[in-house]
Structure 1
């Protein structure tokens, strides 16, 4: 963070603090029966992080079945929460200034402040803290702002935004447990760590058309491969991935589908240039929910530690995922159908082809699919 950015952040903190008093209260003294309008703020993270919060949203709905629950999310993550039965309304926050219009700003303000604002705002921080999320919580006029106690706004200074600071059960645990710890302070209880992503019948029908158009039969065994990751340190080497794909095609009667995300066309072409003498299918670039519906049709997905991994988990699709800088015990979907690979030195380049093919064979056996010679 540069000097100017630090100055601007301190200025904003001072400005917010001047108009907002974070009078501390213990969670046990919260007037929970008066929480009729609840705001969840989760606008500062990525697609996968939003899906990881859905067990907490489900627990929150179970605790407050008759309350109105709204969530603030970024415009490109909002589709992940469409159709979610545990959320009553979605408030869209645009990440880039040039995306805001007067009408969008007016709508955002009315949703945030309408009907007298909110009784409480829950800021879903886990790894880092977002000042913009804190400001949104303050602007909501919430009587109580709730957030985790392990991420100070200013190290060494008293808390200036949250009335209620929630503790973590354990320092090292799955990320979904961190979010559940926040709502547990409100008396919510977990019914498990399954992620929620609800697709419509029309979206699933559209996915079937996509697969038909690229020559995939409905009864084919389908193994998906998503090769992209914005962070190169989290991207399994394409030449190794090509060898894995060749091994899969040599050993199993199946279709291999390349799943593509935004800005990954060049990566796909590079991967294809490494693949020798086997046929693979490329799924076209699709809207995120249609792409998710295609993923739901897969029997197995190979992927990096990205949102695609969490989408597959939410749709009960087994995965083999590649991990490096993020600990799979915290970020790999917490279910037995998912295998996460990480080398001892935590470098993505140190994961071997043999590690991946062994994991694929394990997953295929669990699914009841055997190698050609067996």
Structure 2
């Protein structure tokens, strides 16, 4: 067992969705060890997920030391300075926040010189006090929760609902966009196009039909968001071509939004319902009051919702055999109807 007032550090330097899936573990640690001092080591593109998290006492932010393949010397200096500061904190426990073995993260955790270091690991690593056998199945969020078992915490009944609270700037951006488009909170569905692989995206024809059906059946407009940029960009592929094809039809029910990530996050929070392909925003939306319909496809060759899908009681996950383009309209609209029936606008 840890001391009565333990100082804990959780390392989580992955993408936005990975940080969202870590929030049930943060809640469990604080509930099981209410006197603990809980720190998180994040990076400068996922730390905002925890900006209003009530369970985190301090969030340390590692800067990206490379951008577009180039080393940023100023970031290297800040990185080393934070590393030294964390070592001096003398943490009682360092948890490597990965649901599977990560040699890089384990090396970082050991380098912080905590009294104990907890991580999934397949073989003996010098200095690793609490190696846990890597799970062979289960959702990433449940795998992360299981790290707490090394502290004697009962994880069997732990809740998996992800937790997120938007920043004031995100809500302000969303409210500004809504006012500009003469919309009220809860009067629209937020539909995202962004996906790492094209087979996980809806087609333009599907988006047009879904928006018409959501308007006819639920009285909702569709706020359309997408990753800016062209499809052939090797570093940051975007969805401009698909968005342009949709908007060219000039549907009165579709309103485009390209006001930046935080405005999109605010819109997800205020939406009556969200629909997103597998992405970080899908996980953000699963923690929002209206919930999310998560779209997956070809799970034999890409991520499976069994491990990486939205989790909790505000989500419906749909899986196509080969591509989202195969999904029937009634399947999507039925999922939206289930979310609307089981969520309360504005109540997270």
> Do Structure 1 and Structure 2 share a fold, with TM-score over 0.5?
yes
**Equivalent of 1:165, from 131, 155, 172?**
131
Q: CA separation in 2, counterparts of 1:361 and 1:196?
A: 23
Does residue 351 of the first structure (1) align with residue 323 of the second (2)? no
- Range moving further from structure 2, 294-303 or 318-327: 318-327
Residue 274 of structure 2 aligns to a residue in which SS? strand
Contact 2:87 2:114 in 1 (8 A): no
**Equivalent of 2:309, from 304, 314, 332?**
332
- Range moving further from structure 2, 204-213 or 294-303: 204-213
Structure 2 match to 1:214: 181
Does residue 186 of the first structure (1) align with residue 155 of the second (2)? no
Can you list the C-alpha shifts for 1:46-94, whole angstroms capped at 9, x where unaligned? Answer: 1011110111011112233233222121210011011222222222223
Deviation at 1:228, TM superposition (A): 0.7
Q: CA separation in 1, counterparts of 2:188 and 2:288?
A: 15
Deviation at 1:104, TM superposition (A): 1.3
Contact 1:261 1:285 in 2 (8 A): no
Structure 2 match to 1:140: 112
- Range moving further from structure 2, 249-258 or 273-282: 273-282
Structure 2 match to 1:3: none
Q: CA separation in 1, counterparts of 2:30 and 2:246?
A: 45
Contact 2:32 2:153 in 1 (8 A): yes
Provide the aligned length of Structure 1 versus Structure 2: 326
**Equivalent of 1:248, from 214, 222, 225?**
214
Structure 2 match to 1:5: none
Q: CA separation in 2, counterparts of 1:196 and 1:332?
A: 15
Contact 1:309 1:321 in 2 (8 A): yes
**Equivalent of 1:48, from 6, 9, 17?**
17
Q: CA separation in 2, counterparts of 1:197 and 1:364?
A: 20
Can you list the C-alpha shifts for 1:170-229, whole angstroms capped at 9, x where unaligned? Answer: 7432221111111122123454112121234554344212211233234x6211101111
Structure 1 match to 2:86: 112
Where do 5+ consecutive residues of structure 1 fail to align?
1-30, 370-374
Q: CA separation in 2, counterparts of 1:347 and 1:159?
A: 41
**Equivalent of 1:39, from 9, 13, 27?**
9
Does residue 68 of the first structure (1) align with residue 37 of the second (2)? yes
Residue 20 of structure 2 aligns to a residue in which SS? helix
Q: CA separation in 1, counterparts of 2:202 and 2:192?
A: 10
Q: CA separation in 2, counterparts of 1:262 and 1:88?
A: 35
Given the superposition, is the C-alpha separation of residues 258 and 113 from structure 1 closer, same or farther in structure 2, using an over 3 Å criterion?
Answer: same
Where do 5+ consecutive residues of structure 2 fail to align?
230-237
Contact 2:206 2:329 in 1 (8 A): yes
Give the TM-score normalised by the residue count of structure 1.
Answer: 0.77
Deviation at 1:346, TM superposition (A): 4.9
Can you list the C-alpha shifts for 1:270-326, whole angstroms capped at 9, x where unaligned? Answer: 3524646433112233243x4322211100111101111211121232222211233
Give the TM-score normalised by the residue count of structure 2.
Answer: 0.82
Contact 2:223 2:255 in 1 (8 A): yes
Superposed counterparts of 1:205-284, under 5 Å: 205-218=172-185, 221-261=187-227, 263=229, 264=238, 266-267=240-241, 269-273=243-247, 275=249, 277-284=251-258
Q: CA separation in 1, counterparts of 2:255 and 2:19?
A: 29
Contact 2:205 2:246 in 1 (8 A): no
Q: CA separation in 2, counterparts of 1:274 and 1:172?
A: 44
Does residue 123 of the first structure (1) align with residue 93 of the second (2)? no
Q: CA separation in 2, counterparts of 1:297 and 1:71?
A: 27
Larger of the two Rg values belongs to structure: 1
- Range moving further from structure 2, 318-327 or 273-282: 273-282
Note the aligned Cα RMSD (angstroms).
2.9
